[in-house]
Homo-oligomer: A and B are copies of this chain.
Amino acid sequence: MTLVVASHNEGKVREIAELFAPFKIEVKSAASLDLPEPDETGDSFAANARLKALAAAKAAGLPAIADDSGLEVKALGGDPGIFSARWGGAEKDFGLAMERVEEALAASGVTDRRANFICALALAQPDGSVATTVGKVFGTLVWPPRGSKGFGYDPIFVPDGYEQTFGEMDPDQKNALSHRMRAFEKLIMGRFDEVA
């Protein structure tokens, strides 16, 4: 059986291929199938994951999985949220994005530095049905950024119960804790947040 990963990020595709390999599920990327990349016009992580997965499933005639993830900062009312990548500008410069978050926190005058990463996963079938799950990991923002192992906002995020930022952790340790793995666990265990 073949599963399409509705992503043009080959690193993400490889990671998902490794998860599904024991089940003898062949994973193909949207890029390798020359599938169009829909605009992420949803108003939530789950909505964006849904529209990406559905577009790929229908275009390929195969089940497709997609994710959408980002950082939610409590004192900023959940920002940058679904615009997490866009806070880095056209270049998706996360150094810039982290600075903007820190500036917004300073400007807010609030001392609460709690934040969470969030990942929505959607698994769509060619017939249009979609199941979604959402995983979160809670923690605190630090400044300045520390570590160069992760990506995105990892260098300023320290998960609750740990001292290191995600940027300082080994990939295995981060993956075991991460919002993405929590969303995958729920998906694999059939604990869907939404089925439509």
Contact of A188 (CB < 8 Å), options: B18, B25, B186? B25
Q: Are A22 and B22 in touch, CB under 8 angstroms?
A: yes
Contact of A191 (CB < 8 Å), options: B24, B63, B186, B188? B63
Please, which residue of chain B has its CB at the minimum distance from the CB of A22?
A: B19
Interface size for A (C-beta < 8 A) is 26
A175 at the interface (CB under 8 A from B): yes
Q: Scoring A residues 1 to 39 as 1 if CB is less than 8 Å from chain B, else 0, what string do you get?
A: 101000000000000001111111100000000000000
The oligomer's copy count stands at: 2
The smallest beta-carbon distance between A10 and chain B, in angstroms, is 19
With most chain B CB atoms within 10 A of its CB, the pick from A3, A18, A21 is A3
With a cutoff of 8 Å between Cβ atoms, the chain B residues found around residue A187 in the complex are 190
**For the complex, what is the distance from the CA of A191 to the CA of B23, rounded to whole Å?**
14
Q: Are B63 and A25 in touch, CB under 8 angstroms?
A: no
The smallest beta-carbon distance between A82 and chain B, in angstroms, is 24
Q: Are B125 and A23 in touch, CB under 8 angstroms?
A: no
The smallest beta-carbon distance between A19 and chain B, in angstroms, is 5
Q: Are B190 and A125 in touch, CB under 8 angstroms?
A: yes
Contact of A1 (CB < 8 Å), options: B18, B20, B63, B185? B185
A interface with B by C-beta (< 8 Å): 1, 3, 18-25, 63, 123, 125, 131, 175-176, 181-182, 184-191
What would be 11 A-B contacts, judged by CB atoms less than 8 Å apart?
A1-B185, A1-B186, A18-B22, A23-B184, A23-B185, A25-B188, A63-B189, A63-B191, A131-B190, A188-B188, A190-B190
If A23-B181, A25-B185 are given as contacts, then 7 extra A-B residue pairs at C-beta distance below 8 Å, sorted by A number, are A3-B189, A19-B23, A24-B175, A25-B188, A63-B191, A125-B190, A131-B190
